[in-house]
Structure 1
Amino acid sequence: MSDSLDLLAPPPPAGTPDHVGIGDEAEALSAIRDPRVTLAIWRRRPCIARVDLSAMPPIRFAAPAGQVAERLAAHWAERPPEPWQVPLTQDVARLAALYAELAHEARVEVRLERIAGNGCWKFHADYVGLRLITTYWGQGTQWLPQGADADTAPQALAAGDVGLFKGRALAGDRAIIHRSPPIADSGEDRLLLVIDAEWEQPD
C-alpha cells in the first residue's frame, strides 16, 4: 500500500456516499488515504462466536504494534484457557498492524471490552486522527452520511466489519459522525475493539 495520503480510492459500490470506501478485503481500509474518504469499511464475517465474557474486565493498553499479541496473551494468562482466545488475539494483532501502517504510528492504544449499555450513544465525531472500530458480536457502530439531517436513518457496520474512521484531527468539520448503538435494557451485549494512536483518548 502506498504511503501517500493523497492516493485516490476506487469508486464505492452504487448507493454508497462518495466519502465512504467499502470492500471485502483488508485492502479496502487503504481508501482512508483518499482525502475525500472519511470512513473506510472492510466487510467481513466475525472471527469468533459469541461467548460469555460477563466476568471479563475491560482490557486497555498502549504498546508497539508488534507486541499487541504478547500483551493480550498476558491478559488471557490470568483466565482459564479458552479456544476463542487464540483467534481473537490473532485478529486484534492483525488489526493493530493494519492500523499502525495506515496511521503511520509505531505504537497503538488498544481497548477491548464487552458492552451491555449504550456506550457513546449520541452522534459525534471523535477528536482523533484515525480510529479503528470493530464489533466482534452484537450490533455494530452506527454512522451518518455527510450532510445528513435529523431525520436520516443511520447506517451501521455489521458484526465483524472493520471501520476506519477519520476524526476531527485529520478531517476537521468533515469528520465522520457516528455513535454506539443504543442497547441499554435490551439484554444485548457487544464485544468491541477500538484501536487509536497512543495517548489519543476515546470520547
Structure 2
Amino acid sequence: MNALAPLTAQIQPSIQLQRKAAIDSDANVLPQIYNEDTNIVVWQRDLENTLTEAVNTLINANALKPLELAISPDDAFDQLIKALKPAEQNYNEAKTLCEDIALLVEMFCCLFDLKRAGLRLKVLDKPMCPRFHVDKIPCRLVTTYQGVATQWLNHSDVERSKLGAGNLGKPDEESGLFKSLNNINQLKQGDVALLKGEYWDENEGAGLVHRSPAVAANEQRLLLTLDFI
C-alpha cells in the first residue's frame, strides 16, 4: 500500500487538471461552465440578419465608440443607449444591438448570481491580445458581433511552461506552446463563449489558453466582453 503512494501522488494532479470544452447550438449549454472538468463553454449562435445588418451599419457610420461600463440587468439597455448616444438616423440599429447586449448581460448575471457585470464593447482593427495567454479572472463572456473571433487551445494540447516568458521571445507558432496549427480552435461570429480563468475555484493551472485573432487589412471586429464585478 505504501509502495503505491508515490505513484498515486504523481498521477493524481494530472487527473485533476483534465479540462474539456462544452459546445452546443442551444443556450442551455452555458451552465456547463460549472462542471469542474470544463474550461470553455460555447453557445454556437447564429445572429439574426437584422442584428448583423444593424452592426454593419453602425460600424460603417463610425457610430460605435469604445464602452466600459458597470452594468446591471435592470438598467443595461438604458445605460447602453445613453452611452452610445446614437444619431437619430442610427437609433433603430443601436436599439437592436443594445437589446441583444442587454439580453446577454441578463443571462450572464443570472448564471453567476451577479448584481452587475463589467462590460467592454470595442471596435478593433488589430488584435487586442495577440499572444496566447490565460486570464487571472474567474470567468469571462466573449462574443464577436462582426469579424473574426477569439482563438483558443484545448487544455490537453497546451505546453503551459511556454506561456509568458517561457516562450523565450519566440512566436506562439514556434515556441513549443502547441504542436500543430491544427490545435488552434476558433470561435465564429455570433458565438457566445464563457472562458474559465485561473481565479475560478480550483482551476489554477487550467485557465483557458486563448488569444485575439489577426484582423485583415480594412476589416473591423466588434467585440463584447462581460466580467465579474
Report the TM range for the smaller structure's normalisation. 0.7 to 0.9
Residues 90-126 of structure 1, C-alpha deviations (whole Å, 9 max, x = no match)? 1111111111122221111111110001111110111
Residue 6 of structure 2: aligned partner: none
Residue 163 of structure 1: aligned partner: 193
Residue 70 of structure 2: aligned partner: 62
Residue 48, structure 1, aligned to residue 30, structure 2? no
- Residue correspondence of structure 1 range 14-53 to structure 2 within 5 A: 19-46=20-47, 47-49=51-53, 50-51=56-57, 52=60
- TM-score of the two chains, using structure 1 as the length reference: 0.82
The 1-side partners of 2:179 and 2:218 are apart by: 27
The 1-side partners of 2:80 and 2:110 are apart by: 20
Structure 1 stretch 62-71 or stretch 172-181: which is displaced more? 62-71
User: Structure 2: which 5+ runs fail to align?
Assistant: 1-17, 158-176
Structure whose residues are more often helix by fraction: 2
RMSD (Å) for aligned C-alpha atoms: 1.8
Structure 1 stretch 189-198 or stretch 73-82: which is displaced more? 73-82
The percent of aligned pairs where both chains have the same amino acid is 27
Equivalent residue letter for 2:208: I
The 2-side partners of 1:78 and 1:90 are apart by: 14
Structure label with greater radius of gyration = 2
Residue 128 of structure 2: aligned partner: 119
Residue 130, structure 1, aligned to residue 161, structure 2? no
How many angstroms does 1:81 deviate by? 4.1
How many angstroms does 1:86 deviate by? 1.8
Structure 1 59/180 Cα, relative in aligned 2: closer, same or farther at 3 Å?
Answer: same
How many angstroms does 1:57 deviate by? 2.0
The 2-side partners of 1:81 and 1:152 are apart by: 48
How many angstroms does 1:176 deviate by? 0.5
Question: 1:32 touches 1:38 (CA, 8 Å); kept in 2?
Answer: yes
Residues 60-88 of structure 1, C-alpha deviations (whole Å, 9 max, x = no match)? 11022321111011123353342321221
User: Structure 1: which 5+ runs fail to align?
Assistant: 1-16, 199-203
Equivalent residue letter for 1:103: F
Residues 117-164 of structure 1, C-alpha deviations (whole Å, 9 max, x = no match)? 111111011111110000001001000011324233311110000000
- TM-score of the two chains, using structure 2 as the length reference: 0.74
Q: For residue 172 of structure 1, give the secondary structure of its aligned residue in structure 2.
A: coil
